[in-house]
Structure 1
Amino acid sequence: MLVATYNVHRGRDAAGLFRPDRIARVIAEIRPDLIALQEAQHYFHPARPMFDAAWLARETGLHPLRVAEREGEQGWRSNVVLLRAGARLLAPPHGLRLGGMEPRGAILAELDLGWGGFRLIATHLSLGAGRRRIQAERLLGAMRTGAESGLPTLVLGDFNEWRPGHSVLGVLEPVFGTPPPAPSFPAFRPMLSLDRILGHPKGLVPVVEVHDTRLARRASDHLPLKARVDTALLAPRAAGV
């Protein structure tokens, strides 16, 4: 199972032009089963989708995960999750408010993409280190209180933290370990590992790679990350909800 995370910079390319078609082409290059997007909605116009869902499905084969609190919108607080066809919900997805100067949040879902059940947390965290620590604690709390609190868990998103052991990475380290560096920002000369794919239990995400192509360097100010999930560690398949 291939998963990815991608801050798409509100669909604006390196020149500042609104080009969501380039974002879709990068996603098509990756060919993920699931991808978490950040900055994929406008804060003040969340009901105005960045992507036409039918066009996106033709370009990438993926479909937006609808969040219950935002009926009619493609995501939650700038986060959009795209899934392969046939994905099953094991519990209704919902949004988690994380606060901050900008309306940060996370999408929580319990899914089965055909290999077994897992919990997804897709998020975009704040710029301030103190706020990121609080947000990380809220993510851990949500992880412990799901319908199936023992499910394997994937956390994908833009953490805005590159220093091992600091802020969000320090809070999550006892559960998810220390992620290896994967520089994804800025896209034209990636130096900072702001974007992360974490897995629990240990070994769920053996390797994380940066998707660094000519198109990806032009499409957004971040490069995408991608990872193969060890499906042997996913929960046995269960009936969908």
Structure 2
Amino acid sequence: MHAIKVATYNIRKAVGTDRRRDPARIIEVLREIDADIVALQEADRRFGNRMSALPHHMLFEQSDYVPVEIGGRPQSIGWHGNALLVRKGTEVRHSEIVPLPTLEPRGAVLAEIIIHGRSLRIIGTHLDLSGLWRRRQIRALLARLDGATHHLPTVLMGDFNQWSDRGALSEFAFHHHRLVKTPPSFHSTRPVARLDRIIVSHDIDVESCGAHDSALTKRASDHLPLWASLNIA
């Protein structure tokens, strides 16, 4: 069985801890991680036409990835900063924006793909700072999964803005999902908070996981990327 490597990374609009905007540095981090699927947060600029922080031509020319098309703004690669990247040649059978209740510009993106002969559903998201709204958003994500017309092994990844496994995050257990035991990822120079998460359905085995901590990731963003190697029955 071929393991599938997934990763989640809040790239902070490609602005590093040195306050420099450097999309080439983010692409180099993606090469270091070498995942099959990547969920990005803060992938687009906040204002104006929400232009992608990673120029399309750089992704196509300097990486092995393409963004999953979800029908957002023309110059964006995602929705409210959430984007999914897959290796070139990956079959994307379905993609969509998942609306979330919110006061801030938040959202989620979903894709159903075929990879290494396996079907997989991926959701990337960035949840609210408010515990009340975060719980509502998690329930909206779970409602989308509960309402799916067919079951697929599912991975949810992103910046959940919550330190504890308790509270709103505990709701995933009641819907046959579990939190992968990934290490702290924030702040990248001295990780103490588990804001970023990878969550899987119970039909996925986690082979290994971790935070990608390198000299480059300490400069590229204030979050470290998280990764997990998964086996799908």
Q: What's the TM-score once normalised by structure 1's chain length?
A: 0.89
User: In structure 2, what is the equivalent of residue 134 of structure 1?
Assistant: 136
- 1:117 counterpart = 2:119: yes
Within the candidate set 146, 166, 187, 1:144 is matched to 146
Tell me the CA shift for residue 154 of structure 1.
0.5
| Structure-2 separation of matches of 1:171 and 1:64 | 30
Tell me the CA shift for residue 118 of structure 1.
1.1
Within the candidate set 54, 58, 64, 2:67 is matched to 64
- 1:193 counterpart = 2:180: no
User: In structure 2, what is the equivalent of residue 13 of structure 1?
Assistant: 16
User: In structure 2, what is the equivalent of residue 154 of structure 1?
Assistant: 155
Which ranges of structure 1 fall in alignment gaps of 5 or more residues? 234-241
Q: Deviations over 1:87-110 (max 9, x none)?
A: 11222x111121323211000111
Tell me the CA shift for residue 202 of structure 1.
4.6
User: In structure 2, what is the equivalent of residue 170 of structure 1?
Assistant: 170
- 1:97 counterpart = 2:109: no
For residues 80-91 of structure 1, what are the structure 2 equivalents within 5 Å?
80-91=83-94
| Structure-1 separation of matches of 2:149 and 2:91 | 15
Q: Which secondary structure state, in structure 1, belongs to the residue aligned with residue 18 of structure 2?
A: coil
Could you tell me whether the CA contact under 8 Å between 1:36 and 1:122 is conserved in 2? yes
Could you tell me whether the CA contact under 8 Å between 1:197 and 1:208 is conserved in 2? no
Could you tell me whether the CA contact under 8 Å between 1:196 and 1:225 is conserved in 2? yes
| Structure-1 separation of matches of 2:96 and 2:179 | 27
Q: Which secondary structure state, in structure 2, belongs to the residue aligned with residue 29 of structure 1?
A: helix
For residues 11-90 of structure 1, what are the structure 2 equivalents within 5 Å?
11-71=14-74, 73-90=76-93
Q: Identity of aligned pairs, percent?
A: 34
CA RMSD of aligned residues (A): 1.7
Cα pair distance change 1:45/1:65, threshold 3 Å: farther
* Letter aligned with residue 220 of structure 2: A
Within the candidate set 85, 102, 107, 2:109 is matched to 107
Q: Deviations over 1:189-210 (max 9, x none)?
A: 0011111111112543343210
Q: Deviations over 1:23-81 (max 9, x none)?
A: 11111101111101000112323442222223213322101111034455311111111
Q: Which secondary structure state, in structure 2, belongs to the residue aligned with residue 177 of structure 1?
A: strand
* Letter aligned with residue 52 of structure 2: P
Which ranges of structure 2 fall in alignment gaps of 5 or more residues? none
Could you tell me whether the CA contact under 8 Å between 1:198 and 1:205 is conserved in 2? no
